[in-house]
Amino acid sequence: MKDYKAKKAMTLIEVLISLAILSIIMIPIFTMSISAVKINKQAEVKQKAMLLAQQVTERIKAVPEESFYEIDSFFKEDDIKISKEDEVDKIETFLVSGNIEGYKVEGCIEPDSNYKVLESTESKEIKVDTSIFIEDPNNIKIDKDILEGNSKDINLSVEGSKIIIKYDGKTKTKDLNMNSLALYLGRDIKETYTINVSNKTMDPFKVYCYKDKDTKGEYKINNIEGTVAHYDNMIISKDINQGKSRIYKIYIKVSKGKSSYDIATYKVIEK
């Protein structure tokens, strides 16, 4: 009988020890699970903020060029408000504010002080690391190298001092010194080309988007990761008498709670 009680007591002690060990193991696992849920939620919010920032930017850039200086009149009844800056020395600056699906939107549209007026927008005026020429629907040309294909998607990945260009299953790597690239859309192009850009560096990456004045083709720049500044609507023309232009910087920040995403793009407007 004594042996039976001793065995029973030992079994109970073993159960208690097992429960204690299980608790020690489960608490970190539970904590990690909660943290993972929070991280996933923050990632979802960040992704949504990025999507909204890109959508707002595209809506602003879609305003017709001839009406750009009255851009505030295009958003009066919308979820986005655009108002002129009150300060006298900022008469060409516009403030952006609003709320979309619980996300705060803020930003500004202002002349870029680095590029106040352009007499011409020919490629030789702005130095870049490499250039992509889209002049034939069956290939693209990266500097002097031709990549065959008929895809309408071009993927750019900036990694350290290199840019990796992927097109229709083919890859080309180029060196970077100025963190910049030029895109040229030829007159024979009629389709829209999507340029997906991932910048894995801390420095902004600049994309200058040129179009032949007679082309019917279009660019769509997707900022997948990092800071990407793209200068749109730059015209390829050899007419030395073409009008002066001003480059406007469009800066948009979308935030919710502690998560936010900001984007800066550029639009060329004829004066």
Domain of residue 153 covers 130-235
**Tens digits of per-residue pLDDT, 190-240?**
999 999 999 999 888 999 888 887 888 888 888 888 888 888 767 665 443
What distance in Å separates the CA atoms of residue 257 and residue 38, rounded to the nearest whole number? 13
* One domain, residues 183 and 212: yes
- The total of structural domains in the chain comes to 2
Residue 41 lies in a domain: no
Tally of CB atoms within 10 A around 242:
16
- Pull the structure tokens for residue 218: 């279009």
Is residue 56 in a domain?
A: yes
pLDDT of residue 70: 78
CB 181 within 8 A of CB 207: yes
Cβ-contact 61, 265 below 8 angstroms = yes
Whether residues 146 and 217 share a domain: the answer is: yes
- Examine residue 99 and state whether it is found in any structural domain, yes or no: yes
- Residue (of 176, 207, 180, 179) closest to 194 by Cα position: 207
Full-model pTM: 0.55
In a domain, 138, yes or no: yes
Q: Distance between CA atoms of 216 and 245, rounded to whole angstroms?
A: 21
Other residues' Cβ atoms within 10 Å of the Cβ of residue 247: 21
> At a CB cut-off of 8 Å and minimum separation 6, what does 20 contact?
none
Q: Over the chain, what is the mean pLDDT?
A: 79
Q: Are residues 199 and 136 part of one domain?
A: yes
Across the chain, where does the E strand assignment appear? 80-84, 94-100, 103-111, 130-136, 139-142, 145-148, 153-159, 162-167, 170-175, 180-185, 192-199, 205-212, 218-225, 228-236, 245-256, 259-270
Is 60 exceeded by the pLDDT of residue 99?
A: yes
Question: At 181, is the pLDDT very low, low, confident or very high (cuts 50, 70, 90)?
Answer: very high
Q: For residues 163 and 221, what is the distance between their CA atoms, to the nearest angstrom? A: 16
| Structural contact between residues 189 and 137, judged by C-beta atoms closer than 8 angstroms | yes
pLDDT grade, residue 172 (50/70/90)?
very high
Query: In Å, what is the CA distance from 231 to each residue of 40, 207, 210, 254, 267?
Result: 33, 6, 9, 21, 6
Residue 34 lies in a domain: no
What pLDDT, on the 0 to 100 scale, is given for residue 114? Answer: 57
The C-alpha angle with vertex 197 and arms to 204 and 109, in degrees rounded to 5, equals 55
67 lies in the same domain as 114: yes
